[in-house]
Amino acid sequence: MDIYKIDETKDIEMIVNSFVSEPATEKEWLYFSDAKKRLDFYDTEKQMVTSVVMLANTPIYRNDDGYEFMLVFTPEAIEKMAYDYFSKNGFNKISINHDGSVIEGSAILLESYFVDDNKKAPEKFGTLPKGTWIVSYKVVDKKIWDMIKNKKLRGFSIEVLADLKKLKLKYKNKKDMEKEKNKKQNFEDAVTDQGVNVTFDSFEVGQIIYTVAEDGTKVTLEQGTYLINYEGSVYEVVVDENGTMTAINQVSENKAENDFASEFKKLQERLEAIEKKLENFTSHKATAQARKQQPLTTDSSSQERVHFSNIKVKF
């Protein structure tokens, strides 16, 4: 499935933040509970909601007239989009389920920030990539709040005008991996059993793991279980829906010159099972649940560069 990113070097116009029943980020609202002094799902005293406007460096499933692809917003694109919206006094403007209208005063913006080392996402969202945009609203319109309480509205969804840029992931096939080992060279990055280069701030549970495009754009690794070669050893790594490593188990020392080939031979059955599973993911149309589990692949033989201009992107 092709992967694109919002081109942060071009103009990005945010039209409206919409309250919707099915947010593309799959992050539903949290409700503030004043009595319990924490975030809760059911309290209605404050009529306040908090959620993700856009996840940074995270592939979002798109289907435009039958063309399925994944779309990524970099932190730079998210900031540019937010600044455009606020520069047009969009603080208290929303829409409902992208119905084409913009209403003002029904929800009041209380908080807006980008996730970084000092400002974390609410705990119930888990670890989210740096640059993710989070906002809180106080909902003053009773009808809208009733829709939220009844789960008819569950999160945020944006409308933007932007240029798209096709991404090509860094990829090494198994022959290239063998050649590098035969030259007694370590990999510059860690690499999955599918040959996809990955990177992280540190190789430990709780850290987000990314694939890397040729232009340097980071993309969170899809949910699943991977075999990863890192610093001469092979690990089985479990990744959750946020791209966070939740388990890391070493399966070989793999330090001698020929260990890489021998260890992968011993693990052939496991590799074949994983590859078959990944192939199954790409052989049928994704369901709402499976969309997050599609492997990030790209046609490495294609030199085509697709550029869409001024297309209205709706989430």
Higher local confidence (pLDDT), 247 or 293: 247
Choose among 177, 183, 188: nearest CA to 231: 188
Q: What is the pLDDT of residues 126-159, one digit of tens each?
A: 899 999 999 999 999 999 999 998 889 999 999 9
Q: How confident is the model at residue 313 (pLDDT cuts 50, 70, 90)?
A: low
Is 80 exceeded by the pLDDT of residue 38?
no
Neighbouring residues of 149: CB distance < 8 A, sequence distance ≥ 6: 44
**Token digits of residue 274:** 């994983």
Residue 132: how many CA atoms within 13 Å on its side-chain side? 26
Positive or negative torsion for Cα 116, 119, 122, 126: positive
- Residue 174 and residue 252: Cα distance in Å, rounded? 18
Supply the DSSP string of 30-50, one letter for each residue: EEEETTTTEEESS--SS-EEE
Q: What is the per-residue pLDDT for 187? A: 37
Decide: 109 and 52 in contact? Cβ < 8 Å. no
